[in-house]
C-alpha cells in the first residue's frame, strides 16, 4: 500500500486499445496511488501489443480472456449469454427490460468484469469503454465504494449498421442508470460533455486524448522532399473515416504522395481504396502498416508530413469527438489536416498554421492544402514546427488541464 488510496482502473477492451485508461493508471501510480487494472483479451491481433504495454508497467493487471482459441469455454458461454440478453432486450425494449438483462446485452463480459473488479478491495473504481460502464457501477455498489466514469464517447450515438438503434438504446439505458450516481465523470471533448450535461444534468470534466511529451524533440527534416507523406492510424481501417476524401484530394491536387495507413484493415477495404487511388489519384501510393502499441504511436508518426484527422458527420459521436489522432501528430511534429466537425473545430482553430481546417467531405479544400504544402516546403516546415509548439504549449498529457484534472477529481472522490 502506498497510503494514498487503492484505485481499480477498468476497461472492457485490451490494455493496448484503451490508451485513456492506460494513461490514467500510469498517472495515478506515479502520483502514489495503489493501482490495479482490469482489462480483457479477445482479439488475437492485440495480444502482442498488450504484451508490449505490460512489459513497461509494474502495477497488477487482471485480464479476462475470452479469445476463442485460448479460452473456448468462456468465449462460447459469454457469446451465448450476450446474444440471449440482446434478444430479450430487443423483444421487450431496452427501456422495459430489467437492468441486469440490459447490462449483459450491452457488455458481453459484464459478469466477468464485475467479478474481477470486486476480487480485491478498492477505495475508488474508475473506468470507461462501452461494456464496462454498468460493470463499474455494479461492482461499486457491491463494494460500497465510489466510482468515476470515463465517457470518452457519446455511447448512445456511436453505433452504425443494422443494429445501431438497439445498441444506442441499450447505451442510453445504461447511461441513465449509472451516470448520475458517479462521484465524477470525465469525457474527451467539450461537445460530448455538453450533450451529457443536457441529458443527465452532470458536468463532465474534459480530459482530452493527449499523450505524454516525448523524450526527444521532432526532427523536422523530410525523408523524401519530393513526396508528401500522409499518415493516418486507427484500430480499424475502413470506410466512413474520411480516407476516400483524402484519396480524392490527393488526385485533385496532382501531387506525388504516399498515404500510410496503420491498423487492422476490414476485409477488402484496402483493395478498394487502392483501386480508387489508381483511378483518381495515380500519383498516390497507399501503404498499409500493422497495428502497434500505444506507447509507440508518437514515434511511429515521426517522419511524416501531414497527419489526417478527418472525422465525418455520419455518426453523431464522430461529429462530437476529438480522437487521439491530432494530438499524436502534433507531438511528433507533423502538420494536421483536420475536419471542422463540432468536436474538432476549436482544436483546429487553436492549432493555427499547424493545421488545415476543412469541412467534412470537402475534397477540394483538402486538395488545396495538400497542394500548398507540397509546393511550398517552407510553409510545410512552418506548419510542422507550429504543431510541435502547440503540443508543448498546451496539448500534452502532463498539462495541468489534462493529467492535473484527473488528479483533482480522484483526490476529491477519496477525500
- Total domain count, the chain: 2
What DSSP state is assigned to residue 12? S
What's residue 310's pLDDT?
98
Has residue 2 got a pLDDT over 80?
Answer: no
CA distance 156 to 391: 31
Model confidence pLDDT, tens digit, residues 149-192: 999 999 999 998 889 999 999 999 999 999 999 999 999 999 99
Residues 149 and 262 both lie in one domain? no
Contact yes or no for 79/112 (Cβ under 8 A): no
Phi, psi of 11 (to 5 degrees): -140, 145
Model confidence pLDDT, tens digit, residues 195-216: 999 999 999 999 999 999 999 9
Residues 264 and 115 both lie in one domain? no
In angstroms, how far is the first alpha carbon of the chain from the final one?
Answer: 17
CA distance 42 to 47: 8
Residues 112 and 26 both lie in one domain? yes
Dihedral angle computed from the Cα positions of residues 306, 311, 313 and 314, in that order, rounded to the nearest 10 degrees: 120
Please tell me the pTM assigned to this model.
Answer: 0.95
Cα distances (angstroms) measured from residue 262 to each of 212, 271, 308: 21, 15, 12
Residues 170 and 241 both lie in one domain? no
CA distance 111 to 9: 17
Q: Answer whether residue 222 is part of any domain.
A: no
Q: Answer whether residue 218 is part of any domain.
A: no
Model confidence pLDDT, tens digit, residues 380-410: 999 999 999 999 999 999 999 999 999 999 9
Residues 249 and 193 both lie in one domain? no
Contact yes or no for 26/58 (Cβ under 8 A): no
Q: Answer whether residue 94 is part of any domain.
A: yes
* Residue 1 confidence class, pLDDT cut points 50, 70, 90: very low
The more confident residue out of 223 and 40 is 40
Residues 176 and 249 both lie in one domain? no
Contact yes or no for 384/220 (Cβ under 8 A): yes
What's residue 247's pLDDT?
98
What's residue 249's pLDDT?
98
Residues 387 and 294 both lie in one domain? yes
Phi, psi of 111 (to 5 degrees): -65, -40
> What mean pLDDT do residues 103-109 have?
98
What's residue 4's pLDDT?
86
Residues 174 and 195 both lie in one domain? yes
Burial class (CB in 10 A: 0-12, 13-18, 19+), 153: buried
In the β-sheet with 124-128, what is the strand arrangement from edge to edge? Answer: 61-65, 34-41, 6-11, 124-128, 146-151, 184-187, 205-206
Has residue 3 got a pLDDT over 70?
Answer: no
Q: Which three cell numbers mark 135? A: 460493470
Contact yes or no for 341/314 (Cβ under 8 A): no
Model confidence pLDDT, tens digit, residues 333-352: 999 999 999 999 999 999 99
Q: Answer whether residue 220 is part of any domain.
A: no
Model confidence pLDDT, tens digit, residues 185-194: 999 999 999 9
Contact yes or no for 123/144 (Cβ under 8 A): no
pLDDT mean across residues, the chain: 97
Has residue 239 got a pLDDT over 80?
Answer: yes
Cα distances (angstroms) measured from residue 62 to each of 40, 48, 130: 8, 17, 18
Least Cα distance to 112 among 139, 143, 87, 86 occurs for 139
Q: Which domain holds residue 325?
A: 228-393
SS3 154: coil
Q: Which three cell numbers mark 185? A: 465523470
Residues 269 and 167 both lie in one domain? no
* Widest CA span in the chain: 63
Q: Answer whether residue 297 is part of any domain.
A: yes
Q: Answer whether residue 217 is part of any domain.
A: no
Q: Answer whether residue 223 is part of any domain.
A: no
* Residue 12 confidence class, pLDDT cut points 50, 70, 90: very high
Residues 138 and 106 both lie in one domain? yes
Q: Where residue 305 sits, what CATH number does that domain have?
A: 3.40.50.2000
> What mean pLDDT do residues 70-83 have?
98
Has residue 11 got a pLDDT over 70?
Answer: yes
Residues 173 and 253 both lie in one domain? no
CA distance 338 to 330: 12
Residues 6+ apart with CB under 8 A from 383: 335, 353, 354, 355, 373
Cα distances (angstroms) measured from residue 61 to each of 17, 47, 119, 122, 131: 15, 14, 12, 14, 18
What's residue 161's pLDDT?
87
Has residue 331 got a pLDDT over 90?
Answer: yes
Residues 62 and 17 both lie in one domain? yes
Q: Which three cell numbers mark 147? A: 466510482
> What mean pLDDT do residues 55-66 have?
97
Dihedral angle computed from the Cα positions of residues 212, 214, 217 and 221, in that order, rounded to the nearest 10 degrees: -100
Q: Answer whether residue 306 is part of any domain.
A: yes
Amino acid at each position: 500500500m502506498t497510503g494514498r488510496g487503492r484505485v481499480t482502473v477498468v476497461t472492457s477492451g485490451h490494455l493496448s486499445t484503451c490508451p485513456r485508461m492506460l494513461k490514467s493508471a500510469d498517472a495515478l501510480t506515479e502520483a502514489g496511488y495503489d493501482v490495479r487494472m482490469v482489462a480483457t483479451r479477445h482479439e488475437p491481433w492485440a495480444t502482442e501489443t498488450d504484451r508490449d504495454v505490460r512489459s513497461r508497467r509494474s502495477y497488477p493487471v487482471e485480464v479476462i480472456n475470452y479469445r476463442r482459441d485460448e479460452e473456448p469455454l468462456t468465449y462460447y458461454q459469454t457469446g451465448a449469454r450476450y446474444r440471449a440478453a440482446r434478444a430479450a432486450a430487443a423483444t421487450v425494449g431496452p427501456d422495459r427490460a430489467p437492468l441486469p438483462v440490459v447490462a449483459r446485452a450491452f457488455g458481453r463480459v459484464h459478469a466477468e468484469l464485475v467479478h474481477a473488479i470486486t476480487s480485491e478491495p478498492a477505495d475508488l473504481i474508475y473506468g470507461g469503454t462501452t461494456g464496462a460502464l454498468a460493470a463499474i457501477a455494479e461492482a461499486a455498489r457491491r463494494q460500497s465504494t465510489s466510482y468515476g466514469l470515463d465517457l470518452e464517447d457519446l455511447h448512445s450515438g456511436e453505433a452504425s449498421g443494422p443494429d445501431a438503434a438497439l445498441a444506442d438504446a441499450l447505451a442510453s439505458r445504461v447511461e441513465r442508470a449509472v451516470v448520475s450516481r458517479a462521484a465524477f465523470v470525465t469525457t474527451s471533448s467539450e461537445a460530448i460533455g455538453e450533450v451529457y450535461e443536457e441529458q443527465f444534468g452532470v458536468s463532465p470534466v474534459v480530459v482530452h486524448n493527449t499523450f505524454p511529451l516525448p523524450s526527444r524533440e521532432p526532427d523536422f527534416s523530410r525523408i523524401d522532399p519530393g513526396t508528401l507523406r500522409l499518415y493516418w492510424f486507427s484500430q480499424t481501417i475502413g470506410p466512413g473515416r474520411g480516407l476516400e476524401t483524402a484519396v480524392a484530394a490527393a488526385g485533385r491536387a496532382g501531387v506525388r504522395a504516399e498515404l500510410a495507413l496503420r491498423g487492422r484493415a476490414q476485409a477488402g477495404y484496402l483493395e478498394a481504396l487502392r483501386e480508387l487511388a489508381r483511378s483518381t489519384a495515380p500519383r498516390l501510393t497507399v501503404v498499409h502498416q500493422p497495428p502497434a502499441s500505444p506507447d509507440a504511436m508518437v514515434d511511429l508518426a515521426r517522419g511524416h508530413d501531414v497527419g489526417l484527422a478527418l472525422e465525418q458527420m455520419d455518426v453523431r459521436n464522430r461529429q462530437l469527438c476529438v480522437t487521439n489522432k491530432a494530438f499524436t501528430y502534433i507531438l511528433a511534429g507533423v502538420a494536421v489536416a483536420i475536419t471542422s466537425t463540432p468536436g474538432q473545430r476549436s482544436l483546429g482553430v487553436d492549432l493555427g498554421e499547424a493545421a488545415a481546417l476543412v469541412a467534412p467531405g470537402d475534397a477540394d479544400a483538402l486538395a488545396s492544402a495538400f497542394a500548398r504544402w507540397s509546393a511550398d516546403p517552407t510553409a510545410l516546415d512552418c506548419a510542422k514546427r507550429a504543431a510541435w509548439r502547440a503540443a508543448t504549449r498546451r496539448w500534452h498529457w502532463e498539462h495541468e488541464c489534462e493529467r492535473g484534472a484527473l488528479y483533482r477529481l480522484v483526490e476529491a472522490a477519496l477525500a
